[in-house]
Amino acid sequence: MKAAPFTYHRPGKLEEALDILSRVAGQDGRIIAGGQSLVPMMALRLAQPAHLVDINEIASLRGTGVERQTLVIRALARHADFHQPALTGPLGPLLATVAQNIAHYPIRQRGTFCGSLAHADPASEWCLAAVTLGGTVIARRRGGAREIPAGEFIQGPLTTTLEPDEMISAVHLPVPDQTGRFGFYEFNRRAGDFAPAMSLVTFTVQDETVTQVRLGVGGAEETPRRLSQVEEALNNKPLTDAQIRMASELAASLITPLEDALIPQDYRRQIVKTAVRRALEAAQGSRHGQ
């Protein structure tokens, strides 16, 4: 099958792109950057936008940068931009670790961080990272912009708070303490498959106890989310093997697992238990994000 007919726009400036989007939003006009999700959907006619607004010529939307202790990930930052640490400290290696788990190498050359959040697949690694790390989505439309916490931006599978005439111009991630540690683990049957569960954890260590714990689970429910009860159970205590087992069991008990023909709920719950345990073990063994 081939895509339905559409009108193609290729603006050179952000203001021009927003102006076009404001005029075509009512006809299901879409922004395209990497196209690794949208183009296959169009080919299957699951999506039939009448207009595509290609933002790849807009130089101001390329790459990443650090501004006031915040990592700014612009709309054209590719997954592959994170193959090497994008900044010093634990956040750079953390994002590099996550990036290596996204789909396949060719897809990472084109797909974008912001596009992943706009698509909001429950199995998106970047959605989990943005929610767990307390990221902020910058949504722009003609004449204005708004900042949306990542945890509020994603509302359900393939569903966000983005309005038809808005686009994500950037995602902001706070830069954590330079002594922070992290762990990430996802389970899939084959490399590049959608993961039925994954977990990301960050914390700092003071006097052999963990503090500032952030622990998120993705892939297992309709949206990624932080598990505050698990964080509270770990905070201000030594991270012993017994604590890790307790946290992984608690995380598994808290989720409402997705269920499909291949993965029963009980099995997905067990995968979450393993993912949380292995993410915590990885963070336990890390030093300064290495």
Average pLDDT over every residue of 201-221: 95
**152 belongs to a structural domain:** yes
* 168 and 187 housed in the same domain: no
Domain that holds residue 215: 181-284
What predicted TM-score, i.e. pTM, was given to this entire model?
A: 0.94
Contact (Cβ atoms closer than 8 angstroms) between residue 211 and residue 237: no
* 186 and 262 housed in the same domain: yes
User: The domain spanning residue 168 has which CATH number?
Assistant: 3.30.465.10
* 164 and 186 housed in the same domain: no
Residue 207 pLDDT exceeds 90 = no
Q: How many domains does the chain have?
A: 3
* 212 and 267 housed in the same domain: yes
197-206 vs 181-187, strand pairing mode:
antiparallel
**2 belongs to a structural domain:** no
Final residue of a structural domain among 146, 174, 202 = 174
Contact (Cβ atoms closer than 8 angstroms) between residue 283 and residue 201: yes
Q: Which of 183, 133, 208 has its CA nearest to residue 283?
A: 183
**33 belongs to a structural domain:** yes
Q: What are phi and psi of 138, to 5 degrees?
A: -100, 110
Give the model confidence (pLDDT) of 6-16 as tens digits: 999 999 999 99
Give the model confidence (pLDDT) of 52-110 as tens digits: 999 999 999 999 999 989 999 999 999 999 999 988 889 999 999 999 999 998 999 99
User: The domain spanning residue 14 has which CATH number?
Assistant: 3.30.43.10
Poorest-pLDDT segment among 16-20, 214-218, 286-290:
286-290
Residue 287 pLDDT exceeds 90 = no
Residue 21: burial class (beta carbons within 10 Å; 0-12, 13-18, 19+):
buried
